[in-house]
């Protein structure tokens, strides 16, 4: 996924009210950017770190800038925009990077299913079974508390537990159900559910796996020009 416009560098002053961040641009100007991330962002909101923002020319937008990337003290680049993983997975399916989801002929986005839910991607017309649908739910991951170990969630997520239950029901009905964790950072080699942060989600994850839901995790390579899913990570 290439950014549509060149990103602008700045220095993080603070992130607050979940969806707002004050950033000092390199010309000294201080602006408020939209932070498209409802999570706790542990370790990713320290003042003084370098960040990258995408500008918008839409006059109807309240905030001109969106926070996209942050560079940690060890120079690791992390993507914080939770609106990107669906597109990243879609591109990775098309280009064959996510081999587990290869072979489907059609892909639909945001299809209604379950109890007032929408599945991120619905794949169909698989070569081996044209009647089986594949329900794909995508989650953004950026938490890393232990070296090389990415974790989800970084805060309590009742919505995430609901999605796992919906996937389990699709698997019970005979469809394929896949949970894809997109790690928007390159320094992870393993993935785990953060049971200490959200025990309910951890229980739902275990139940979903026992009920036939598949779980896969992929990490990304990131730069101010592009974010791209690169390789699989062990769960």
What is the pLDDT at residue 129?
52
What is the pLDDT at residue 127?
56
pLDDT tens, residue by residue, 20-52:
999 999 999 999 999 999 999 999 999 999 999
Q: What interhelical angle do 158-172 and 199-210 show, nearest 10?
A: 10
pLDDT tens, residue by residue, 148-199:
999 999 999 999 999 999 999 999 999 999 999 999 999 999 999 999 999 9
CATH fold of 8-79 reads OB fold (Dihydrolipoamide Acetyltransferase, E2P) (2.40.50)
What is the pLDDT at residue 132?
81
Q: Hey, do 8-79 and 85-233 end up sharing a CATH topology, with the first three levels equal?
A: no
Alpha helices in the chain (DSSP H): 85-94, 158-172, 199-210
Q: Average of pLDDT values for 90-101?
A: 97
Beta carbons of 142 and 183 less than 8 angstroms apart: yes
Least confident of 3-7, 90-94, 122-126: 122-126
Residue 187 CB-density burial (10 A; 0-12 exposed, 13-18 middle, 19+ buried): middle
CATH fold of 85-233 reads Trna Endonuclease; Chain: A, domain 1 (3.40.1350)
Least confident of 54-63, 91-100, 118-127, 215-224: 118-127
Residue 126 has pLDDT above 80, yes or no: no
| Domain range list for the chain | 8-79, 85-233
What is the pLDDT at residue 125?
83
3-state secondary structure of 85: helix
pTM of full prediction above 0.85 = yes
pLDDT band at residue 235 using 50, 70 and 90 as cut-offs: very high
Q: Average of pLDDT values for 117-130?
A: 80
d(CA 181, CA 84): 12
d(CA 174, CA 105): 19
CA angle 232, 74, 181 (to 5 degrees): 25
Which of 111, 114, 123, 119 has its CA nearest to residue 139? 119
Residue 130 has pLDDT above 70, yes or no: no
Q: Which residues of 139-167 are buried (b: 16+ CB within 10 A; e: fewer)?
A: bbbbbbeeeebbbbbbbebeebbbbbbbb
What proportion of the chain, given as a percentage, has pLDDT over 90? Answer: 92
What is the pLDDT at residue 92?
98
pLDDT band at residue 116 using 50, 70 and 90 as cut-offs: confident
23 DSSP β-pair partners: 12, 31
């Amino acid at each position: 996924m290439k950014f549509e416009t060149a990103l602008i560098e700045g220095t993080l002053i603070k992130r607050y009210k979940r969806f707002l961040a004050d950033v000092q641009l390199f010309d000294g100007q201080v602006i408020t950017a939209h932070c498209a991330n409802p999570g706790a962002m542990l370790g990713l909101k320290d003042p003084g770190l370098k960040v990258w923002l995408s500008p918008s020319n839409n006059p109807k937008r309240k905030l001109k800038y969106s926070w996209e990337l942050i560079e940690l003290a060890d120079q690791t680049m992390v993507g914080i925009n939770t609106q990107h993983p669906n597109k990243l997975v879609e591109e990775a399916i098309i280009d064959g990077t996510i081999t587990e989801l290869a072979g489907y002929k059609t892909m639909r986005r945001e299809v209604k299913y379950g109890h007032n839910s929408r599945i991120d991607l619905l794949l169909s017309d698989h070569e081996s079974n044209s009647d089986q649908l594949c329900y794909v739910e995508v989650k953004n991951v950026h938490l890393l508390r232990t070296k090389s170990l990415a974790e989800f969630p970084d805060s309590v997520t009742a919505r995430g537990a609901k999605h796992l239950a919906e996937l389990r029901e699709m698997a019970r009905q005979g469809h394929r159900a896949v949970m894809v964790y997109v790690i928007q950072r390159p320094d992870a080699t393993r993935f785990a559910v953060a049971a200490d942060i959200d025990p309910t989600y951890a229980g739902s994850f275990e139940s979903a796996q026992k009920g036939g839901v598949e779980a896969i995790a992929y990490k990304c390579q990131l730069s101010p020009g592009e974010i791209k899913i690169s390789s699989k990570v062990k769960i």
